[in-house]
Structure 1
Amino acid sequence: MAAYVGRGVHGQTVRLLGTRVLAGELREGDTIDLGALSTELDLSLTAIREAIKVLAAKGLVDSRQKKGTFVRPRAQWNLLDPDVVSWQVAAGAADTFFRDLAELRAAIEPAAARLAAQRRTDEDVVVLRAAIDRIAASVRGTAEEETAADLAWHRAMLAATHNEMFTRTDVFFAAGLSERDRLVHGAVHDDPVPSHSAVTEAVAAGDPGAAEAAMRALLDKAETDLRRATAMNRRAHDDHERGSTA
């Protein structure tokens, strides 16, 4: 499930309209006046329609004869889509989104770590340790590199359960984890390697209780890091707003 990679004006238009939907500026059931948007954004109707196609593919809008283009009910939105996740955070719903993400991870990942400790193979341990090395190498890299390394480790942990259902649960939190990592990257400078290594080595040792406890500790640290990063971002935003009005 990849993020939309539209560039330039087209990509900006898709993001603008997507954020308006997620922010509730365009509400469920609202008809979208494409002509008015064309005038407002100084874009052709063709350009607006192309952007609408992207939103339709993500379940946010639909078009019907005689009804026009309208915002679909939230229950039909693809809330796991990476762009929809990003737009939700940009729309000011970050606190609720990250709370939901933390609760989901707390329900899935400690149980996965316990099961991985019971079922892991030597190859699984090799993959997990290689993922730790990748995390270590990414710490001073870009946000994208660190995010990709972290997600690779979590996927390796799920794969080590040798339970196909657990392995597929990454679709529930992959996009959210990526968004969370981008927010934390650069704002929090704690080394992520020890917490991930603790889970890895408990799994390697075949100790289910230790693996589960280490995963819970990792999730607790993730929440602490997120709170710190969020507070720092809010202070920076407030300082910018005060500077703009001075």
Structure 2
Amino acid sequence: MQQYTARGVHGQTVEVLAQRILTGQLPEGAILDLNALQSEFDVSLTVLREALRVLAAKGLVDARPKRGTFVRPRSAWSLLDGDVLRWQFARSPGPGLFDDLHELRSIVEPGAASLAASRATEADLAALDAALADMAAAGADPLAAVAADLAFHRALLAATHNELIQRMEVVIETGLAERDRMVHGTDGPRDPVPSHKAVVDGIRRHNPAQAARAMRKLLDQAIEDVARLERNHLEDRQD
């Protein structure tokens, strides 16, 4: 599904309505008062309906004759959609969302590393090496560090040469970007190069078990980083 990019009044309308649905301000089954929303947002009915079409495509709302436009049950939401994920992370996600992301990555990425060790081409290895080089060069620049980490995991999934695994990029990257921004935005983040290089070493040696083991260790470090942030936030609130 194509990712939605917010633009102007239309984009703001989509974002605000999405946040209200995801936070429960507009609960499941709620009927949307289009006239009230049109007045509140000061937009034309055409703009409002177009915004609702975007949300409908992502499973958040639907419209029925005699019932009107309503919020669909969470079970119908396209939770793997890049925008829905981004909207959830944008509303200060609790640890549960990061836990779900970690579990997903723990299932997908060690297997991806194992496949990459069997299938990676010289071009794949070059892409992984380039991401490592960018990671090392990023230093204390959080934006560069995030970009390099995303490039690494994108290259890893590509090296599996499995189109379905590569499609997991949207889910992993969206959550990973938010986690990285939190981690790299704090003082003293650990050097990410050694743990990522260990994965590449296993792939370069065509050793699936080594690559998968290194990826599991990398993921263990990632969950430790999030746990450290949560401890720091708790201590700050207690001060």
Q: TM-score, normalised by structure 2?
A: 0.85
1:101 Cα deviation after fit: 1.0
CA offsets 1:192-240 (integer angstroms, 9 cap, x no match): 111111111121122222212211111011111122334445666x59x
The CA RMSD measured in Å over matched residues stands at: 2.7
**Amino acid corresponding to residue 113 of structure 1 in structure 2:** A
2:115 aligned with 1:115, yes or no? yes
Alignment of 1:93-242 (within 5 A): 93-143=93-143, 145-187=144-186, 189-232=189-232, 238=237
2:95 aligned with 1:72, yes or no? no
**Amino acid corresponding to residue 146 of structure 2 in structure 1:** T
2:57 aligned with 1:57, yes or no? yes
Q: Secondary structure at the match of 2:14?
A: helix
Contact 2:81–2:170 under 8 Å retained in 1 = no
Contact 1:13–1:51 under 8 Å retained in 2 = yes
Unaligned runs of 5+ in 2: none
2:101 aligned with 1:89, yes or no? no
1:105 Cα deviation after fit: 0.8
Contact 1:139–1:146 under 8 Å retained in 2 = yes
Contact 2:134–2:148 under 8 Å retained in 1 = yes
Task: Note closer, same or farther for the CA distance 1:82–1:138 as it changes in structure 2 (3 Å cut).
Answer: farther
1:17 Cα deviation after fit: 1.2
Identity across the alignment (%): 51
1:78 Cα deviation after fit: 1.6
Contact 1:187–1:232 under 8 Å retained in 2 = no
1:107 Cα deviation after fit: 1.0
* Total equivalences in the alignment: 238
Q: TM-score, normalised by structure 1?
A: 0.82
Contact 2:6–2:15 under 8 Å retained in 1 = no
